[in-house]
Structure 1
Amino acid sequence: MAAPAGGGEEGGAHAFTGELIMDGAIMLGAALLFVTLFRRLGLGATLGYIVGGAMIGPFVLGLVGNAENIMSISEFGIALLLFIVGLELNPSRLWRLRRDIFGLGVVQVISCGLALSALAHYVMGFSWQAGLAIGMSLSLSSTAQVLPMLRSTGELHKPHGERAFSVLLLQDISIVPLLTLIAALSRAPADPNAPGGVTLALYTVGAIIGLIVIGRFVINPFFRIIGRLGERELFVVAALFTVVGAAALMSWLGLSTALGAFVAGVMLAESPYRHELESDVEPFRSILLGFFFLSVGMMLDLGVIAARPGTVLLAAIGIVVVKAIMITGLGRAFGLNMFGALRLGLLLSQAGEFGFVLLAQSMQAQLVSPEGVSLFGAVITLTMASTPFLMMLIDWLEVRYAEGSGEREGPEAAPKGQVIVVGYGRFGQTVSQMLMAKKIGVTLVDKNAELIDLAEEFGFKVYYGDGMRLDLLRTAGAENARAILFCNDREDISNERLEAVAEAFPQAAIMVRSYDRRHSMDLDGLDLAFCIRELFESAVLMGKAALTELGFSQDDAERVEREYRSLDAERLERQSETGDLHAAKDRMFKDDQAMGEDGKLEPREEGA
């Protein structure tokens, strides 16, 4: 019996939907399993996605296919990533980075591209045209891998992080001239409808100017209207529309969609809704970037690697070594210290996702064979997989070098002061400067090598070492110190270590910055001269200022402050005695418990 008209199409649609759901479930399951495993092993999420994709892809288990289609969709995650980065960059900061973007970035792309082109031509035997296309493709690093690493570790605003961002931004911009170069070298019949290089450059400048104008006079006012409506869903839709619209404009002009998304982010960087936009877009960015790296793993042709393992491995090593050496040298030339430059070199040593795009164009231009594209696709993936290991290596080398060299002195070289301050972060800086205001001798100790270098730029001598170690404190003069102030992070300040310090140096007043209420409870019972939660005082001051701003008198605000401090101290004492965070929870101001006329806590009257 014949199927009803359209029944076959309907059945095909159901089959496609079922296949899509099944593929999505397998990919999410692989991501969950391998990213969790690799995170636990300290190898990073990116490598977990790539290995997970390789396992479920057509060359291992064959559970999911269509890697190219998945990659083409998930590449939008790169656009979302650059949109978020753009939100963090106002035009003044971009102007400050112009030397790194158009100086360091341009020199890196050209120098690394030519060096890798020479390797492809003279060592691997490609023609000079194919070698140039391959070398320039491999000169680009992975924006999708490096930027999340910098953001997660808080390094994006450090000197090497800013230079890495500048180089990556220039690389994204360079996609247009590199595509033009490949078109000029093409052996395929010319496309009469394709725009020329000069036209593409004019399109790029015009599109950027157009996006800035639209953002200033259309998008920003539009977000103000949505903000007044208070509809969260509209914010999500508007945020995605902004990114998609900017990317679509660039795509329509044949330009980089990632660059369009970045410009969209920059034009909203000074918007009062910047943080809401970032929080709305972030989940989509995370998911799509995860799918992108899964698709990279799925496209990893293990057959090519198995057929020519030595070639793939040596090519990957060659790319990483050449780029690391050259970018490290450029980092030094642009003002980074040795370890900052080396960190920059290793961070950008991999080939990136845009290499896949340029190699595909090279194949269409009949410069590189399909087998060559598969080979270098495997090489690119291998270089990307090496980056987490290289960053672990530089972390280890930096710690070992700082411990063993005289470049960063230990506290044995310090003049013996009255006070030792352990930890020279934002908290320790304030404490130490207040002591220095009264000419008190302070010995500063920290184990963050980059922070030590930064402090030296401002004229402060910070000595390298772990300030929780008794032997190091002795060399810093702790046996004669009047006070030892621990301003370092919570993972370093344990009850046992502080107790050992107090026993070893009984003459010194021990003062501690605790992280939160639980940390303060853990430290209870120690003979501490002072212990304060790191945000407690600033929160109390803001609450007091808010009361006066709302029309309450200074006396009323001070009475609330005194009563709150008293209740909080009472709660903390009860919590420490019982070990129960919920102890004395009735001693808190709440909606139904306010401060009475006598200044004491009392239930609020019904209807008050």
Structure 2
Amino acid sequence: MDEHGGGLSLLRDGVPLLGFGLLFVLLFRRLGLGATLGYLVAGAVVGPAVLGLVGDAEEKMGVAELGIALLLFLVGLELSPSRLWRMRHDIFGFGLLQVALCGLAITGIILAATDFSPAAALALGLPLGLSSTAQVLPMLQSAGRLRTPVGERSFATLLFQDISIVPLLTIVAALSRNPADAAGPPGWMLALYTVLAIVGLVLAGRFLLRPLFKLIGNMGEREMFVFAGLFTVIASASLMQLLGLSPALGAFVAGVMLADTPYRHELEADVEPFRSILLGLFFLAVGMTLDLNAIAERPLFVAGMAAALIITKTVVITLLARVFGMPWRQGLGVGLLLSQGGEFGFVLFAQAQSAYLIAPEAASVFGAIVTLSMATTPFLMLASKRFRAEPERSTREAAGPQHDGASAIVVGYGRFGQTVAQMLIGQGLSVTLIDRDVEMIETAGDFGMKVYYGDGTRLDLLRQAGAADAELLLFCIDGDQLDAEMLHSVHQAFPDADLFVRAFDRRSVMKLRGAPLSGVVREVLESAIAMGRQALDAVGVDEGEIEKTEAAYRQRDIERLKVQKETGDLYAARDHMFSQAAQAAEQRKDAEPG
């Protein structure tokens, strides 16, 4: 009976929670404030502090924390060694200094403005040095500025901030003031547990997870990939929680373990929908847990600390950008863009609260400071647009940033795709390779080729692989997996990329009628013509006659295929074919007396 009542309660709470979440996210998106703020405000409105429509925020927070775990898992998947090496200067130079300098500066402000202990101030100040990936990246993408110098430097900084969540969680664990009656280990032991757990997860990933995903890949079951991906996240997070550590840390390590495997893009595409839903639920639960009474008692402190946070981060990041050689206008743009607190602040505040470093009221007050700072970012960017704009002459002369993604995506790395990829790589193009054959992927690795596992006909997987920035999408897969409708969808999703398709025969070409293709190649055509030429040469036919015959065949074939595509009839224009009956009739006609 209790279980039935619990189910009804979950459904009853779900209606206002999701309904208000949808309403406020749409409203805040419309105002350019981002979805994260919409979720936080919706949670506060439906929570006990305002309307009281939904209760038991702590229980919902426990479920919603899986959203943070999935977010960190996806962050870990992005951290392949090759990508880190390519962006190493911005990530580990600019990003490291930004987190350290901003975090320590804000820690000093907290110490000066409050009576917090140094450990508590550090547990609050370091998280405030992080910015909001969930807010900044969509702003850059929607404005088309992700590939500009400001966008690239901001992205690298956010990437390091995402990485820094791991050492920050470890620092908070090491500072833990768990009392003896709480039956918790001291901070130094928690730090040791963290290191041992990470080593154990890395070994498990190498010797257990990779063989598991190889087995699933051989089975070709997409549903099992979703299942195995969620299992990996939950198992890693549960192990960390069992040791008294952050579950999010376990999910992050699990992502890093799989970042350099062929299954990365498939996992990203499969886990992303769950991440989006649960992360939204997490921010709703955070909004519900905000103690608005504690905030209302100290409104000037909240507003003042939010202003101090924004000003401090803007100044530090702008000066740091100048040191790294950016013009002051671009440096100011990066500083303002990253001036807010971020979503990981809520995670670290909760961790600091669990470690008895801060009280729940302090977590609510500083959560409100983060929320207020996030609300100001769109307005600050809009208000400073004139100051950040380059002079007219400079913008005309400035060259665009270099493309650091793949220029081409080759779907299908069999005998056909291998040749296509070799030619593109031979001209210096950056190529991403995707295939579903696990054995072939491993064989390609023996030859130094990195092939990712996945179904390249899926739009979400193509998007994860970087199709939005690619110049070429080449489908080199065999069989009848492609049709005009699917290719129209690909072109609509990625209009800047030229589409090329390998078709097996004329039936395949007819199936693609009307598709927005830049090129289609029949696999059997050129090789068959080459053999026909060799055979004619072997029986002594003159080279000129061979050329004449080839040209005639090609012309007839083009005309015949055109009629077949127009009518959809495979038997149309049969009279365009060379046939023995037609040849015999032609010979009889020539033999008849004039």
TM band (smaller chain): 0.5 to 0.7
Match of 2:463 in 1: none
Match of 1:39 in 2: 29
Cα distance in structure 2, aligned partners of 1:559 and 1:406: 53
Structure 2 residue 239 is matched with structure 1 residue 276: no
Match of 1:528 in 2: none
1:543 counterpart SS class: strand
Match of 2:510 in 1: none
Structure 2 residue 134 is matched with structure 1 residue 164: no
* Aligned amino acid, residue 169 of structure 1: D
Match for 1:535 among 498, 507, 516? 498
CA 1:305 to 1:565, structure 2 compared with 1: closer, same or farther past 3 Å? farther
Match of 1:376 in 2: 366
Alignment of 1:495-510 (within 5 A): none
Match of 1:175 in 2: 168
Deviations 1:163-190 (A, max 9, x none): 223331342122234214532xx49558
* Aligned amino acid, residue 194 of structure 1: P
Match for 2:303 among 306, 309, 313? 313
Structure 2 residue 106 is matched with structure 1 residue 116: yes
Structure 2 residue 69 is matched with structure 1 residue 69: no
Range with greater deviation from structure 2 (89-98 or 149-158): 149-158
CA 1:541 to 1:45, structure 2 compared with 1: closer, same or farther past 3 Å? same
**Conserved 8 A contact 2:174-2:190:** no
Alignment of 1:471-490 (within 5 A): none
1:544 counterpart SS class: strand
Deviations 1:307-336 (A, max 9, x none): 332221111111121122212323333454
Structure 2 residue 43 is matched with structure 1 residue 53: yes
Cα distance in structure 1, aligned partners of 2:200 and 2:571: 55
**Conserved 8 A contact 2:71-2:275:** yes
CA 1:406 to 1:117, structure 2 compared with 1: closer, same or farther past 3 Å? same
Match of 2:211 in 1: 221
* Aligned amino acid, residue 211 of structure 1: L
Alignment of 1:119-268 (within 5 A): 119-146=109-136, 159-183=152-176, 186=177, 188-189=179-180, 193-197=184-188, 199-268=189-258
Match of 2:389 in 1: 401
Q: How far does residue 17 in structure 1 lie from its aligned partner after superposition?
A: 1.0
Structure 2 residue 11 is matched with structure 1 residue 18: no
**Conserved 8 A contact 1:54-1:298:** yes
Q: How far does residue 517 in structure 1 lie from its aligned partner after superposition?
A: 9.1
**Conserved 8 A contact 1:97-1:166:** no
Deviations 1:350-395 (A, max 9, x none): 223443344445556665444333322222222233334445556x
Cα distance in structure 2, aligned partners of 1:140 and 1:325: 15
CA 1:75 to 1:192, structure 2 compared with 1: closer, same or farther past 3 Å? closer
Q: How far does residue 124 in structure 1 lie from its aligned partner after superposition?
A: 3.6
Structure 2: 5+ residue runs without aligned partners?
408-467, 469-486, 502-515, 531-549, 578-594
Cα distance in structure 1, aligned partners of 2:279 and 2:165: 16
Alignment of 1:593-608 (within 5 A): 593=570, 597=574
Alignment of 1:345-424 (within 5 A): 345-360=335-350, 362-363=352-353, 367-393=357-383, 396-397=385-386, 401-402=389-390, 404=391, 406-409=393-396
**Conserved 8 A contact 2:107-2:121:** yes
Q: How far does residue 259 in structure 1 lie from its aligned partner after superposition?
A: 3.5
2:224 counterpart SS class: helix
CA 1:145 to 1:540, structure 2 compared with 1: closer, same or farther past 3 Å? closer
CA 1:132 to 1:195, structure 2 compared with 1: closer, same or farther past 3 Å? closer
Cα distance in structure 1, aligned partners of 2:145 and 2:556: 40
CA 1:206 to 1:535, structure 2 compared with 1: closer, same or farther past 3 Å? same
CA 1:210 to 1:129, structure 2 compared with 1: closer, same or farther past 3 Å? closer
**Conserved 8 A contact 1:100-1:166:** no
Q: How far does residue 101 in structure 1 lie from its aligned partner after superposition?
A: 4.5
* Aligned amino acid, residue 291 of structure 2: D
TM norm structure 2: 0.65
Q: How far does residue 154 in structure 1 lie from its aligned partner after superposition?
A: 7.1
CA 1:300 to 1:160, structure 2 compared with 1: closer, same or farther past 3 Å? same
Deviations 1:477-500 (A, max 9, x none): xxxxxxxxxxxx9xxxxxxxxxxx
Range with greater deviation from structure 2 (359-368 or 230-239): 359-368
* Aligned amino acid, residue 82 of structure 2: S
Structure 1: 5+ residue runs without aligned partners?
1-9, 412-421, 431-488, 490-515, 521-531, 568-585, 601-608
* Aligned amino acid, residue 130 of structure 2: L
Q: How far does residue 286 in structure 1 lie from its aligned partner after superposition?
A: 0.7
TM norm structure 1: 0.64
1:42 counterpart SS class: coil
CA 1:232 to 1:378, structure 2 compared with 1: closer, same or farther past 3 Å? same
Structure 2 residue 278 is matched with structure 1 residue 288: yes
Deviations 1:74-113 (A, max 9, x none): 2221221232233333222223444555444443333223
Cα distance in structure 1, aligned partners of 2:235 and 2:164: 22
* Aligned amino acid, residue 285 of structure 1: R
Cα distance in structure 2, aligned partners of 1:174 and 1:290: 25
Cα distance in structure 1, aligned partners of 2:335 and 2:114: 24
Structure 1 vs Structure 2: percent identity of aligned residues?
Answer: 48
1:376 counterpart SS class: helix
Deviations 1:410-443 (A, max 9, x none): 79xxxxxxxxxx99998xxx9xxxxxxxxxxxxx
**Conserved 8 A contact 1:35-1:45:** yes
CA 1:264 to 1:161, structure 2 compared with 1: closer, same or farther past 3 Å? farther
Deviations 1:442-492 (A, max 9, x none): xxxxxxxxxxxxxxxxxxxxxxxxxxxxxxxxxxxxxxxxxxxxxxx9xxx
2:175 counterpart SS class: helix
**Conserved 8 A contact 1:173-1:256:** no
Cα distance in structure 2, aligned partners of 1:234 and 1:131: 45
CA 1:89 to 1:300, structure 2 compared with 1: closer, same or farther past 3 Å? same
Cα distance in structure 1, aligned partners of 2:83 and 2:517: 33
Q: How far does residue 45 in structure 1 lie from its aligned partner after superposition?
A: 1.7
**Conserved 8 A contact 2:49-2:291:** yes
**Conserved 8 A contact 1:83-1:263:** yes
